[in-house]
Structure 1
Amino acid sequence: MIQVKNLYHKYPNKEAYAVNDISFEINKGEIMGFLGPSGAGKSTVQNIMTGLLPLQKGQILYEGTSIKNLDKNFYNRLGVSFELPNLYEKLTGFENLKYYAGLYERETEDPLKVLDMVGLAEAAHKRAGSYSKGMKNRLVFARSIVTKPEIMFLDEPLSGLDPTTGKRIKEIIEAKRDEGNTIFLTTHNMFLAEEICDNVAFINEGRLIAIDTPKNLKLQYGSHSIKVEYRVENQVKTEIFFIEKEEDNKKLQQVINNKEIITMHSQEATLEQIFIKLTGRGLS
């Protein structure tokens, strides 16, 4: 349904490309997760795909039609959730959704129903400016689904949310996928990506490092690791050693021989560990 081919983007006064030769496809009814640290290029790709940034070089096709040739009917099909809340803070949560829904030429959801879905029913008639950070993020997410979109772009949808609320939002995203929505999700939350994404792309410094299902990425790049807790001068230190690496094996033996071991467990590699293995850096 969505094809991105050889996408490049460079910001003014910058020598390096923020997005450097990225290509991928998303089928209808799939969640594509873009996984990478802050500044990796995730949001830039999303902004180009939604028309917020101009297409400088490459192709973006929706059902075979270039983004350059799409009209307002296409944008009526989109739902977008930004990482940083961009709300009308003098309006209530209900008024924010009502106003936003009124901009679309299509059937929309009842704002009160959507606010209830994201746990904001009791705050529906309070000004958005009085909301906490987590409440504002939920309102931004609610805005992305109030228009009954067919294609959703979600940028760090669980940012600032407690585990219970995060679980609720995650379930809504999965339900939208099951209804046939196509979802592009940018995140550095590897747990979210592993749990709900059909395919995951690793992006680092503007380049696509790997792309596949979470399971296949683990099979291809993952290796079993050993998590060790040991005591150092009355403090407990935790380290993870990849047993396929000679250097890690040597370090592990040194720890076993010279430290007081508290616990030692083998474990399957996580997406974050695979990302570190491929890029040499973490997701934070």
Structure 2
Amino acid sequence: MENAMKVTGLRKVFNQHTAIEDVSFNVKRGEIFGLLGPSGSGKTTTIKILTGELLQTSGDVKVLDFDIAFFKTPDFKSRIGILSDNSSLYDRLTVYDNLKLFCKLYDAPLEQIDVMLEEVNLKDARNKAVSKLSKGMKQRVLLAKALIHKPDLVFLDEPTSALDPGNIAHIHRGLQKLNEAGTTIFITTHDMEEATKLCDRVAFLDKGRIQELGNPNALRYKYSTHAFHVETFDDKRLVIENERENADEIKELIATGKVKSIQSDNPTLGQIFLKITGKELV
């Protein structure tokens, strides 16, 4: 599959502090790729380089077949959408008028406004001034803004960080629908449940370096002990190794009706990250 993005040996230094070091990965067209890590790991620095907001110290970057020298051109910017910590809205304007302004900027049809307001669950707030919105509602308007012109590739930096579970689920459905229509999505998050649900592949970033990369379920299998965790009705919790000689023990537990629950050992992405780096994802 053709790459939407290829990053090789990326490095960024700020005043003798190395924010990212030797970062390499590719993002395939049509996939959802997650860059995962705790605050301060280098996620935002990476996304700012990929969108042309920062220049790298060294390394090669190509996005949608554009070299980094062309990231500030209208042609490049018209093909990407960005939700980052620098994204902003006009507080005095209504939600609708903010999105109308960006429709004109990107030459998108005005009919797209109501489509996007539906996607981010804000149709009832279309005539509210942005200054009157909660933080979570503003976050959803910013997401609508990033997607209003149907970009080929969208960069989402912690897109659901201020949202409640109901709206997170709504946004996730919208992003999956967008991806199914062909949009490539690059997402940074420290929410491992979100990454497991959405991403085709993830990269773990810590101390400015990629520590692991792969499909979420493949990584969970890779780091699994493959043991069975059994809870019995008398509140015992057993860990039984997945070995041939233990088959009779499991069979006996099931046959005598003692098993309350049984599951294989598949660690979460958060547990894998902790094992690799020694850090919690906070």
- Pick the TM interval, shorter chain: 0.7 to 0.9
Question: Could you tell me how far apart the structure 2 residues matched to 1:77 and 1:216 are?
Answer: 31
User: Could you say which residue in structure 2 is the equivalent of 1:58?
Assistant: 59
* 2:18 alignment partner, SS class: coil
* 2:213 alignment partner, SS class: strand
User: Could you say which residue in structure 1 is the equivalent of 2:181?
Assistant: 179
Question: Could you tell me how far apart the structure 1 residues matched to 2:154 and 2:99 are?
Answer: 16
Normalising by the residue count of structure 2, what TM-score does the alignment of the two structures yield? 0.82
1:64 Cα offset (Å) = 3.9
Equivalent in 273, 276, 281 of residue 275 of structure 1:
273
1:67 Cα offset (Å) = 1.8
User: Could you say which residue in structure 2 is the equivalent of 1:209?
Assistant: 211
| Residue type of the alignment partner of 2:62 | L
Question: Could you tell me how far apart the structure 1 residues matched to 2:62 and 2:179 are?
Answer: 20
**1:81-230 equivalence runs, <5 A:** 81-83=83-85, 86-105=88-107, 110-223=112-225
Q: Is the 8 A contact 1:3 1:61 kept in 2?
A: yes
Task: Label 1:66 to 1:124 Cα distance change in 2 as closer, same or farther (>3 A).
Answer: same
Task: Label 1:81 to 1:105 Cα distance change in 2 as closer, same or farther (>3 A).
Answer: same
**Residues 182-205 of structure 1: CA distance to partner in whole angstroms, max 9, x if unpaired?**
111000000010011000000011
User: Could you say which residue in structure 2 is the equivalent of 1:2?
Assistant: 5
* Residue 39 (structure 1) aligned with residue 37 (structure 2): no
Q: Is the 8 A contact 1:28 1:182 kept in 2?
A: yes
1:84 Cα offset (Å) = 6.5
Task: Label 1:98 to 1:225 Cα distance change in 2 as closer, same or farther (>3 A).
Answer: farther
Question: Could you tell me how far apart the structure 2 residues matched to 1:225 and 1:88 are?
Answer: 54
Q: Is the 8 A contact 2:108 2:148 kept in 1?
A: no
User: Could you say which residue in structure 2 is the equivalent of 1:79?
Assistant: 81
Percent of aligned positions with the same letter in both sequences?
37
Question: Could you tell me how far apart the structure 2 residues matched to 1:283 and 1:224 are?
Answer: 24
| Residue type of the alignment partner of 2:179 | R
| Residue type of the alignment partner of 2:216 | P
| Residue type of the alignment partner of 1:48 | I
Question: Unpaired runs of 5+ in structure 1?
Answer: 229-240, 244-262
| Residue type of the alignment partner of 1:6 | G
* 1:152 alignment partner, SS class: strand
1:221 Cα offset (Å) = 2.4
**Residues 211-244 of structure 1: CA distance to partner in whole angstroms, max 9, x if unpaired?**
111122112223368999xxxxxxxxxxxx9x9x
1:81 Cα offset (Å) = 1.2
User: Could you say which residue in structure 2 is the equivalent of 1:257?
Assistant: none
| Residue type of the alignment partner of 1:127 | A
User: Could you say which residue in structure 2 is the equivalent of 1:235?
Assistant: none
| Residue type of the alignment partner of 1:273 | Q
Question: Unpaired runs of 5+ in structure 2?
Answer: 231-238, 242-260
User: Could you say which residue in structure 2 is the equivalent of 1:68?
Assistant: 69
Normalising by the residue count of structure 1, what TM-score does the alignment of the two structures yield? 0.81
Q: Is the 8 A contact 1:32 1:198 kept in 2?
A: yes
Residues paired across the two proteins, number:
251
1:63 Cα offset (Å) = 4.3
Question: Could you tell me how far apart the structure 2 residues matched to 1:108 and 1:29 are?
Answer: 26
| Residue type of the alignment partner of 2:268 | T
